[in-house]
Amino acid sequence: MNYLITIIGPTAIGKTALSIQLAQHFNCAIISCDSRQFFKEMKIGTAVPNAEELAAAPHYFIQNKSIFEPYSVGDFESEALQQLDKLFQENPIQIMVGGSGLYVDAVLKGFDEFPDIDASIRDEINAHYDELGIQYLQNTLKELDPDYYQKISIENPQTLQNPQRMKRFVEVCIGTGKPYSSYIGKRKNQRNFTPIIIGLEANREKMYERINQRVDIMLQQGLVEEAYSLYPNKNLNALQTVGYRELFDYFDNKITLEFAIEEIKKNTRRFAKRQLTWFKRLENAKWFDFKTNTTSIIDYIQSKIN
């Protein structure tokens, strides 16, 4: 039996440190599923593990791609499962860690299958979006799949502001003549491992304090300079993320540096809240306070394996 110890939780909660301690205890590797740490050009703003941490255990999917390469969650699912197959041959216990909920889901459960959609429909939706904006996508989804619109309004409202996701929902509705939600949950993806899901959390005050401290450390490490080096490519999809977007606005003279820094902290706190909302949906996750002794967490893992 193979086991994938999966460490989840909000940003800056201590997932990296715990993953390394567990990897050393179980003598195994770490699969990173932080969708921002894939990109080698984004080091400081994504809190990539430092050289000492990376040397403490074998790591995969950290700074292995370029921001100029297209890389989807489906690509990651395929590559991560292939890597895990190899690792499980050496040790039936492996570790996955990261704060990107969609990428965690991809490895643990996979995705539903959708029919191919004619490219002309996608072009038509893009044209309407360019003319009418995000409200066109929202209204269309609300009309064609009211149940799904209601679901994401409650569970993940920021998705309603995400053009790429919304375009996908709408194109499936129009291209198939069926609600997007009618395709969800139909496919059962087989996995050759049992997940043991460990969640780390803290009270909101402590979580926000840790986030603010992390942003200050990133700034000391040279986040502004890193963002400036990426500024010419600010429209790339990989760079549409907290920590860079705000500094791009500063470089565009839209806001002051001081305001940009406060926005980074505020938006990171909001991101952490969304992460928790996403992860709290995962069944069979065992949540621990971030200060919990690692020995107690190992005892829990052993109880699930034995």
Check whether 16 is labelled as a binding-site residue: yes
CA distances in angstroms from 174 to 82, 131, 181, listed in the order given: 34, 18, 13
Question: How far is the C-alpha of 53 from the C-alpha of 49, rounded, in Å?
Answer: 6
- 62: annotated binding-site residue? no
The answer to whether 12 is a known ligand-binding residue is yes
Orientation of helix 146-155 relative to helix 134-144, angle to 10°: 120
**What is the distance between the alpha carbons of residues 252 and 104, in angstroms, rounded to a whole number?**
35
238 in a known ligand binding site: no
Q: Please, which residues have CB within 8 angstroms of residue 153's CB and are 6 or more apart in sequence?
A: 160
Rounded CA separation 39/179 (Å): 35
110 annotated to bind ligand: no
43 is in an annotated binding site: no
Rounded Cα gap, residues 151 and 157, in angstroms = 9
**Is residue 297 a known part of a binding site?**
no
- The half-sphere exposure of 242 on its side-chain side, counting CA atoms within 13 A, is 18
Q: What is the DSSP letter of 37?
A: T
Contact 201, 287 (CB under 8 A): yes
Is residue 176 marked as binding? no
What letters, b where the CB count within 10 A reaches 16 and e where it falls short, cover 262-297?
A: ebbbbebbebbeebbebbeebeebebbebeeeeeeb
Binding residues for ATP: 9-16
Binding residue numbers: 9-16
Where is the binding site for substrate, in residues? 11-16
